[in-house]
């Protein structure tokens, strides 16, 4: 990998933050397209997407995902589109109802853990069904590792033929009641991925004030990273982030600090072994 470019993923909306928390959180499809476009222009090459209803409540409506996909393909040509199948936007099979749209990628949780106020349930039958749908519609999963066991489970699923090789694994740290932000655990995650699945790619995401911490650890350690208003609405203790693009910019500055070129969408597609589109 020449110069080891860093892929920046922008998680634009999520299921939790509201306009009351930060007016820059994009809720309507039009706002999402605009916010993603700004982020794309400053260096994000993956857009991690959830959709919302007009009142801001969570949704997993495939029609909304379809219009978002259409808008992003038009305005952010080449950008990698990643849809969430996370459990905050729907229940059971609803969570995979948008996979038939064949986005480039989708998030996939392969095990359960606690979330701030509840259990984040990912029972094996649901996980296997989501993985099968991703194979069927040629969607590359991003494994959400909220725990060390999730890395082992992803590798096992890949060996069993339920997930394609190479894996892309994201370490999520700092969700309340789940894995805290801990450097030794982070280093062990990286080591474990390299040991169990040497050709896997990996990415780090931190929640709240720890977003920048995980950005820095991941960039420094040669991985990829995620930013955006889904995980964090502030620039620092006193200031709200003015946009998703401002958070992307912050990650690109860390790339400069550690001599990591920011991956273009073409480089990101190559690194993740996704097809280059003719556009």
Which CB, 69 or 260, lies closer to Zn ion? Answer: 69
Q: Which among 166, 9, 6 has a CA at the least distance from the CA of 81?
A: 9
Which CB, 168 or 260, lies closer to Zn ion? Answer: 168
Closest CB 269 distance from Zn ion, rounded Å: 21
Which one-letter DSSP state was computed for residue 99?
G
Which phi and psi angles does 261 have, rounded to 5°? Answer: -60, 145
Closest CB 16 distance from Zn ion, rounded Å: 9
Rounded distance, CA 217 to CA 189, Å?
A: 12
Q: Which among 64, 66, 82 has a CA at the least distance from the CA of 10?
A: 82
The residue count for binding Zn ion (CB under 5 A) is 1
**Interaction of residue 252 with Zn ion, rule CB under 5 A:** no
Which phi and psi angles does 43 have, rounded to 5°? Answer: 130, -5
Rounded distance, CA 141 to CA 30, Å?
A: 26
Rounded distance, CA 148 to CA 256, Å?
A: 30
Q: What is 3-47 written as a DSSP string?
A: T-PBPEEEE---SS--TTT-TTS--SHHHHHHHHHHHHHTT--EE
**Interaction of residue 60 with Zn ion, rule CB under 5 A:** no
Site residues for Zn ion, 104-133, by CB under 5 A, read none
Closest CB 144 distance from Zn ion, rounded Å: 8
Q: What is 208-224 written as a DSSP string?
A: GGGHHHHHHHHHHTT-E
Task: Print the binding letters for residues 67-86 with Zn ion: x by CB under 5 A, - otherwise.
Answer: -----------------x--
Task: Print the binding letters for residues 176-205 with Zn ion: x by CB under 5 A, - otherwise.
Answer: ------------------------------
**Interaction of residue 89 with Zn ion, rule CB under 5 A:** no
**Interaction of residue 210 with Zn ion, rule CB under 5 A:** no
**Residue whose C-beta lies closest to Zn ion:** 84
Closest CB 50 distance from Zn ion, rounded Å: 5
Closest CB 11 distance from Zn ion, rounded Å: 5
**102 touches 62 (CB < 8 A):** no
Closest CB 279 distance from Zn ion, rounded Å: 25
Closest CB 35 distance from Zn ion, rounded Å: 14
Rounded distance, CA 116 to CA 96, Å?
A: 23
Which CB, 84 or 215, lies closer to Zn ion? Answer: 84
Which CB, 84 or 158, lies closer to Zn ion? Answer: 84
Which CB, 5 or 204, lies closer to Zn ion? Answer: 204
Which CB, 9 or 255, lies closer to Zn ion? Answer: 9
Interface ranges with Zn ion (CB under 5 A) = 84
């Amino acid at each position: 990998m020449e110069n080891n470019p860093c892929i920046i993923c922008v998680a634009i909306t999520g299921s939790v933050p509201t306009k009351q928390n930060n007016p820059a959180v994009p809720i309507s499809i039009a706002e999402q397209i605009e916010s993603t476009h700004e982020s794309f222009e400053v260096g994000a090459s993956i857009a991690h997407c959830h959709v919302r209803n007009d009142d801001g409540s969570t949704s997993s409506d495939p029609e909304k995902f379809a219009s978002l996909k259409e808008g992003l393909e038009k305005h952010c040509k080449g950008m990698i589109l990643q849809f969430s199948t996370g459990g905050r936007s729907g229940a059971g099979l609803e969570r995979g109802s948008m996979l038939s749209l064949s986005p480039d990628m989708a998030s996939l949780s392969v095990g359960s853990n606690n979330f701030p106020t509840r259990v984040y349930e990912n029972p094996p039958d649901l996980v296997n069904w989501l993985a099968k749908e991703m194979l069927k519609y040629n969607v590359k999963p991003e494994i959400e590792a909220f725990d060390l066991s999730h890395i082992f489970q992803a590798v096992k699923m890949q060996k069993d033929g339920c997930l394609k090789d190479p894996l892309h694994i994201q370490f999520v740290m700092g969700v309340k009641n789940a894995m805290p932000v801990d450097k030794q655990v982070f280093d062990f995650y990286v080591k474990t991925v390299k040991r169990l699945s040497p050709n896997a790619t990996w990415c780090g995401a931190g929640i709240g004030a720890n977003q920048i911490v995980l950005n820095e650890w991941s960039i420094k350690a040669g991985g990829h990273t995620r930013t955006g208003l889904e995980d964090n609405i502030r620039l620092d203790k006193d200031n709200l982030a003015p946009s998703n693009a401002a958070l992307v910019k912050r990650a690109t500055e860390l790339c400069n600090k550690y001599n990591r070129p920011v991956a273009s969408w073409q480089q990101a597609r190559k690194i993740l072994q996704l097809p280059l589109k003719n556009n």
